[in-house]
Amino acid sequence: MERDVVITAQGHENVTAEHASTLEVTSDDFLTPAGDCILGVEADTVPADFDDDFVEACQSADATITATLVADGHRAVVEGSGHPDLSFENERSHVLRTSDYVDDRTVLVGADAAAGDIDRDLVAALADGADLTLTLSVEA
């Protein structure tokens, strides 16, 4: 079974994507220079919006979750795992983690890439304000 959630967001002039262990897309409408894990702001969907079937599939330790980021013709794919403790209760942010740490913002763990690993052309497009589409797909 594969399920998708599509989130649209905006790039921002302060997108640097330098963080080594996380990647974030937030519904906040601002980004400070300290937010070096954030690739997009003004997300139209937050984890608390996800349907129960998607959440349940992601809560399987055997689930593979793929995050595909697309902006201005550039594409990056990050793959990680589900976790039984994923709650998807946050009403602001989606966080992809290379670690196995879980909080209410976490949408996948064990990611094979973080913000600092994302293609620099994609990052530059987001820093120029490009539209971002983040698609989360789960196979359980």
Which residue range is the domain that position 132 belongs to?
Answer: 2-139
Give the pLDDT mean for 118-126.
98
CATH code of residue 34: 2.60.120.630
Total domains in the chain come to 1
The mean of the pLDDT values for the chain is 97
Q: What's the token pair of residue 120? A: 């620099």
pLDDT band at 2 (very low <50, low <70, confident <90, very high): low
pLDDT in tens, 54-88: 999 999 999 999 999 999 999 999 999 999 999 99
Give which of 107, 85, 89, 87 is closest to 24, Cα–Cα: 107
pLDDT in tens, 12-36: 999 999 999 999 999 999 999 999 9
